[in-house]
Structure 1
């Protein structure tokens, strides 16, 4: 689906429409056009974008893919940004990504996403509601989209922080393999997110250090703000990845400690019953001539010896602090 927003500076008007706005934009010398493509970037669309906006075919090829690392590429009259955002249904760390392509020129911004993008929708709604003006320029508009993209990640990371704190408290009292499985999944998801964030950090650092058209000095503060948001997301992902690793190691250590305590108890029980079993085994043999068998108080003497051995062993274990 193709939608457009056409802004006319001379009368501060905004017109929402379809492909027909492209013709009006081409006839104007100062109008600003936002062309949004929701879905497949067909060969016919690619040809139109090359002819009307001068977009490079290789950049269009990257924008048409569903999987590609985030990147930035500067051309003579525009900048190509490729971001990895969240799908509309993603509300947790176990999220799906969509590729978000932005071609940002002086008088146009072209966005393409393969599935519904809440960041694009929110920015468009703010423009149409008058809360965000296209007269600020296409650079400011693209940075606003980028900020919405990373803020959705922030919400997911903050929710994960609360959950990791809960799991840490539970682990101290409960040894449950379901908890371990949950933390392992979080670590896997964070590995993927960290990769995205570090791509984004490198991308916006490059834009800040070497601004390209239309990102001029007037947008320096906005670029720095997006960079800070990206750095924060990356640092949070790194932190929670380390926390997840520590929780896994802590769970394994706690489980090993509990197993050692169990084995210690079983070992003590075994150590006590070994001599008792030995005594019972000797006097349980079926030889006819065992001197003690005929002793009048033999039964009580054996019991006394066995009880004495048990008491002595328990005292010895306690003295060595094994109990």
Structure 2
């Protein structure tokens, strides 16, 4: 599907299909937003080339997976970022690769499935940003996607606090499996936000270079987007660190409990070793053992074994091993 938004010089806005592209070509001073949604890639490539998009950028846009990036061409700024098709709970995101070709009077977006941010802005709100400039509209689409990520991270923060409280009452293996799963998801998000942070930094450089497509007038919007990306990166890193601390804390507690158990077993073993030695000594089948003729030898041996046991217990308690 191809949908277009044509903003004329008199500020009137028209919505339609690809026929608006021909109208724009007749008067390129107007502003145009072209959105390719789940469109046939062959037809999409032909249309993008007719609009002056570089073939390498088109190939990157049509790849199933490509790291987020930004690249400056003669007539366009090409941005590729990881948007959202469906945001789930517990940091589960159905990601969507979104490509943008941003010119002086045109912005082109292409994506394989429905985009929440683009659907949100392809209305009156989008007109407001397109009036300012195509780069402002593109950055606001990016900004809205980051806002969805941010909202889900805030929701996860509340859940993480609840997990921390439960952990203080006593963690278990099931809780550790859950935390480890969250840590893995946060690792993937951090990787995505790192790429996006690079896009924000490159945009600030382009503003400084004063290219025709983006200049100092767009600095505030670029800074706003970059700050939101950095906030996402810092939040995901903070949540990752908390999950790591919880896992390490659980492992430390489990290790301490294991050490305490092994200490008790070692003490028990140390007590019974001399007792077992004496029992084994007098259990040998020799006919001539001197002590066998002692009338109360049985009681003497039991008393001696009890004395050894009590002495060892007192020694271990004195050394705080019990």
Q: TM-score, normalised by structure 1?
A: 0.88
- Quote the residue 1:302 is aligned against: 301
Distance of aligned partners of 1:143 and 1:271 in 2 relative to their CA distance in 1, 3 Å threshold: same
Greater shift, 265-274 or 230-239, is seen at 230-239
Q: Distance in 2 between matches of 1:285 and 1:178?
A: 52
User: Are 1:105 and 1:138, in contact at CA under 8 Å, matched by a contact in 2?
Assistant: yes
Instruction: Report the Cα offset of residue 90 of structure 1.
Output: 3.7
- Quote the residue 1:148 is aligned against: 144
Q: Secondary structure at the match of 1:88?
A: strand
- Quote the residue 1:262 is aligned against: 261
Instruction: Report the Cα offset of residue 305 of structure 1.
Output: 2.1
- Quote the residue 1:2 is aligned against: 2
Distance of aligned partners of 1:272 and 1:170 in 2 relative to their CA distance in 1, 3 Å threshold: farther
Is 1:279 the counterpart of 2:275? The answer is no
Distance of aligned partners of 1:143 and 1:274 in 2 relative to their CA distance in 1, 3 Å threshold: same
Q: CA RMSD, aligned part only?
A: 2.4
Instruction: Report the Cα offset of residue 270 of structure 1.
Output: 0.7
Q: Secondary structure at the match of 1:116?
A: coil
Distance of aligned partners of 1:126 and 1:278 in 2 relative to their CA distance in 1, 3 Å threshold: farther
Is 1:75 the counterpart of 2:73? The answer is yes
2:110 alignment partner, one of 96, 109, 112: 112
Pairing of 1:169-248 with structure 2 (within 5 A): 169-172=165-168, 174=170, 176-211=172-207, 212-248=211-247
Instruction: Report the Cα offset of residue 283 of structure 1.
Output: 3.1
Q: Distance in 1 between matches of 2:6 and 2:240?
A: 44
Aligned length: 319
User: Are 2:206 and 2:214, in contact at CA under 8 Å, matched by a contact in 1?
Assistant: no
Q: Distance in 2 between matches of 1:54 and 1:113?
A: 18
Instruction: Report the Cα offset of residue 171 of structure 1.
Output: 4.3
User: Are 1:9 and 1:135, in contact at CA under 8 Å, matched by a contact in 2?
Assistant: no
User: Are 2:186 and 2:240, in contact at CA under 8 Å, matched by a contact in 1?
Assistant: yes
User: Are 2:129 and 2:136, in contact at CA under 8 Å, matched by a contact in 1?
Assistant: no
- Quote the residue 1:54 is aligned against: 52
Distance of aligned partners of 1:227 and 1:110 in 2 relative to their CA distance in 1, 3 Å threshold: same
Q: Deviations over 1:186-241 (max 9, x none)?
A: 33323322222122111111111222442222221111111101111122223333
Q: Which runs of 5+ in 1 are unaligned?
A: none
Distance of aligned partners of 1:117 and 1:263 in 2 relative to their CA distance in 1, 3 Å threshold: same
Greater shift, 25-34 or 255-264, is seen at 25-34
Distance of aligned partners of 1:96 and 1:261 in 2 relative to their CA distance in 1, 3 Å threshold: same
Instruction: Report the Cα offset of residue 41 of structure 1.
Output: 5.1
User: Are 2:2 and 2:39, in contact at CA under 8 Å, matched by a contact in 1?
Assistant: no
Distance of aligned partners of 1:278 and 1:169 in 2 relative to their CA distance in 1, 3 Å threshold: farther
User: Are 1:41 and 1:64, in contact at CA under 8 Å, matched by a contact in 2?
Assistant: no
Q: Distance in 1 between matches of 2:114 and 2:212?
A: 28
Q: Distance in 1 between matches of 2:205 and 2:254?
A: 49
Instruction: Report the Cα offset of residue 169 of structure 1.
Output: 4.2
Instruction: Report the Cα offset of residue 266 of structure 1.
Output: 0.4
Pairing of 1:304-323 with structure 2 (within 5 A): 304-323=303-322
Greater shift, 168-177 or 23-32, is seen at 168-177
Q: Distance in 2 between matches of 1:29 and 1:102?
A: 19
Pairing of 1:86-97 with structure 2 (within 5 A): 86-97=84-95
Q: TM-score, normalised by structure 2?
A: 0.89
